[in-house]
Amino acid sequence: MSTTAPPPDGLDHVDERLLRTSPLKKLLARPELGSVVGAIAVFVFFSLVADSFLRPSSLGTVLYAASVLGIMAVPVALLMIGGEFDLSAGVLVTSSALVSSMSSYQMTANVWVGVGVSLLVTLAIGAFNGFMLTRTKLPSFIITLGTFLMLTGLNLGLTKLIAGTVSTKSIADMEGFPSAHALFASTLTVGGVELKVTILWWLALVAVATWILLRTRFGNWIFAVGGGADAARAVGVPVHRTKIGLYMGVAFCAWISGQHLLLSFDVVQSGEGVGNELIYIIAAVIGGCLITGGYGSAIGSAVGALIFGMTSKGIVYAEWNPDWFKFFLGAMLLLATLLNAWIRKRVEATK
């Protein structure tokens, strides 16, 4: 070796040039910090203006609203970290529910058959999105806008063709309904608070997604394909497979959401789901995901969903006109994004 390499003893001792970082500063460097501050602010705000907001029953309602959104916000956040969008995610939930309902109604009288068929079809649509994206190299905005429109049309058209109306027939009297209902749409009572099972799904998904992102090779690849796809490809990361995997993750969660949608109401309205894709993206962005990819967290998306749940229900508890909800959501999005940008700048400046 010709270089004057210092002996590699610096592995254990802390570099003297590295000032001790306080735990606070470490916390500040987390992508979800802005959203946590926002969530606390929203919580305090509605606790003050709405008396019923702090009741245990309200907690269950708020968490339920957050979980329904949060289940989808998790994979959408991962996809965004991977540098892509999925505008078809909202209607894909409805498609998944419709496929499930109609295939069990038309083929057999067993709910579980529909649940299984729906999983396969939904994953196939996710794979289609990913495959089209990686094959054509068109922006994901265009590809998934196409799938969004096609699915919207298919949902309405096929439902009318098969069921004759815009909603499916009830599946409540079919075989397997109670067990499927228990898995996807039951209500648990914990300490007198009624909690929907979707909250468990949500928490589990956040935990699994966080594990994948931070502690697996696939997670490393997600950050890499979003932060620099060419650099990632150059060192041998399977960029295409990673992206297709992310779209199938969105599809998998759409399947969970779709089954919940179907099994909690027995029927599905074929026009539902339009517009939700943007709310998933909003939750991910509020949670600190960089819209250009390469940065963000699954926990952040959960906090974003929680802010959404608190705002949407808080307005009801405060007995305001719910028309104001969208205004609040928009203001929250702007504030959270500005806060995130400001924090990131400060953290990077101190490095």
Partner 1 sequence: MTTDTAPLVELDDVSKYYGNIRALEGVSLEVRAGEITCVLGDNGAGKSTLIKIVAGLHRHDAGTFRIEGEEVALANPRDALDRGIATVYQDLAVVPLMPVWRNFFLGSEPTKGKGPLRRLDVDLMRATTREALLRMGIDLRDVDQPIGTLSGGERQCVAIARAVHFGARVLVLDEPTAALGVKQSGVVLKYVAAARDQGLGVVLITHNPHHAYLVGDRFVLLKRGTMAASHTKGEVTLDELTRQMAGGSELDDLRHELERPAAS
* Interface residues toward partner 1, by CB under 8 A: 1-6, 8, 10-11, 15, 17-18, 211, 215-217, 219-221, 223-224, 227-228, 230-237, 290, 294-295, 348, 351
Nearest to partner 1 of 137, 351 (CB atom) = 351
Residue with tokens 């909250």: 199
Measured from the CB of residue 229, what is the shortest distance to partner 1 in angstroms?
A: 9
74 or 239: CB nearest partner 1: 239
Q: Rounded to whole angstroms, what are the CA distances from 88 to 6, 146, 277?
A: 55, 8, 7
Question: How far does the chain reach from its first CA to its final CA, in angstroms?
Answer: 32
Minimum CB distance to partner 1, residue 304 (Å) = 20
Burial bucket for residue 128 (CB in 10 Å: 0-12, 13-18, 19+): middle
> Nearest CA to 76 among 287, 236, 265, 311?
287
CB of 285 to partner 1, least distance (A): 16
Q: Under DSSP, is residue 327 helix (H, G, I), strand (E, B) or coil? A: helix
Tell me if 103 sits within 8 A of 120, measured CB to CB.
Answer: no
Closer residue to partner 1 (CB): 242 or 301: 242
Our CB check for partner 1 shows the closer of 39 and 290 to be 290
| Rounded Cα–Cα distance for residues 128 and 121 (Å) | 10
Beta carbon of residue 197, minimum distance to partner 1 (angstroms, whole number): 22
Q: Taking a C-beta distance cutoff of 8 angstroms, is the pair 114, 103 a contact?
A: yes
Q: How far is the CB of 114 from partner 1 (least distance, A)?
A: 28
Instruction: Tell me whether residue 138 or residue 231 sits nearer to partner 1 (CB atom).
Output: 231
Q: How far is the CB of 12 from partner 1 (least distance, A)?
A: 9
Q: Name the residue nearer to partner 1 (CB basis): 148 or 221.
A: 221
